[in-house]
Amino acid sequence: MTEVLRAQWVVLDIEGTLMPTSAVHVGLYDFARPRLGPWIDAHPDSELVRSAVARTKAEAGLADDAGTAEVVAVLHRWMAEDRKAAPLKDLQGEIWQQGYASGELVSSYFPDVVGALRAWHAAGLALAVFSSGAVKGQVASFSNTTDGDLTGLFRSHFDTVNAGPKREAPSYAAITAGLGDPDPGAVVFLSDVPAELDAAAEAGWQTVGLARAGEPYADADFGAHLVVGTFDDLRIEAA
């Protein structure tokens, strides 16, 4: 059955919604893991790197003079736990940006995704992204895909730094403001994680759960949220 919605903005999660969880946890994490230490050591004057290292030490309770190896051990542990810590995401974003620019990384989406994004964009809907991945990494990931450069499809990008935690309603209120204060009911959020949808609904947004076969949340309880298996089951019309 096709579900039909009307909206002005479509805000999209990435992992589990646009691309398989394994593409992030295996493909992207494997790319970042061996590069974290060399990246930190190669960029001692970068404000982003200095801040990410300092925040990692503070969050992990490391001494101020802890070396790169200790910091990297924490970052690796966070990746193993899939902890979406902002300093880790900042460093991953820089490393992925370089990987996409060099062509070593190429994003590949679920087969129903790119056609739907293009159709919504062509229909006059405004598209935005809200992901735990840092904005820098998000933009890079859309710049080199198996379907070419998709960055032009998106008007705005949000992460846990410029919006806030994905499972808290104030983050969605902040994004509403960042989108220019549309009626919250004219924004629809697409995600595979029920707790994120709960927070978006609390902020007055429409919500759609993605229960994609084989993904971690495929059998989750989505409560009252609309749920689809793929974007092919969804029609969003411009309001």
> In terms of residues, how long is the chain?
239
| CA dist., res. 178 & res. 198, Å (int) | 20
Pick what 141 binds: Mg ion, ligand L4RZE5RM, none; C-beta below 5 to 8 Å, kind-dependent: ligand L4RZE5RM
Among residues 28, 37, 29, which one has the least CA distance to residue 56? 37
Of the two residues 99 and 133, which places its CB atom closer to Mg ion in the complex? 133
Minimum distance from residue 180 beta carbon to Mg ion (Å): 25
202 CB-side CA count, 13 A: 14
Cβ atoms of 218 and 211 closer than 8 Å: yes
| CA dist., res. 11 & res. 127, Å (int) | 6
Of the two residues 15 and 94, which places its CB atom closer to ligand L4RZE5RM in the complex? 15
DSSP 195: H
Of the two residues 14 and 53, which places its CB atom closer to ligand L4RZE5RM in the complex? 14
Cβ atoms of 68 and 38 closer than 8 Å: no
Q: Which of 15, 90, 94, 159 binds Mg ion (CB under 5 A)?
A: 15
Q: Judged by CB under 5 A, does residue 16 bind Mg ion?
A: yes
| CA dist., res. 20 & res. 215, Å (int) | 7
Pick what 96 binds: Mg ion, ligand L4RZE5RM, none; C-beta below 5 to 8 Å, kind-dependent: ligand L4RZE5RM
Residues forming the site for ligand L4RZE5RM (CB under 6 A): 13-16, 24, 28, 84, 96, 131-133, 137-138, 141, 166
Pick what 99 binds: Mg ion, ligand L4RZE5RM, none; C-beta below 5 to 8 Å, kind-dependent: none
Helices 47-60, 68-80: crossing angle, 10 deg rounding:
70
Considering only residues 181 to 220 of the shown chain, the ones binding Mg ion according to CB under 5 A are 192
Minimum distance from residue 231 beta carbon to Mg ion (Å): 14
Pick what 12 binds: ligand L4RZE5RM, Mg ion, none; C-beta below 5 to 8 Å, kind-dependent: none
H/E element, 137: helix 135-143
Q: Judged by CB under 5 A, does residue 93 bind Mg ion?
A: no
H/E element, 90: helix 86-102
Among residues 24, 43, 31, which one has the least CA distance to residue 104? 31
Minimum distance from residue 23 beta carbon to ligand L4RZE5RM (Å): 9
Pick what 87 binds: ligand L4RZE5RM, Mg ion, none; C-beta below 5 to 8 Å, kind-dependent: none
Q: Which residues bind Mg ion (CB under 5 A)?
A: 13, 15-16, 192
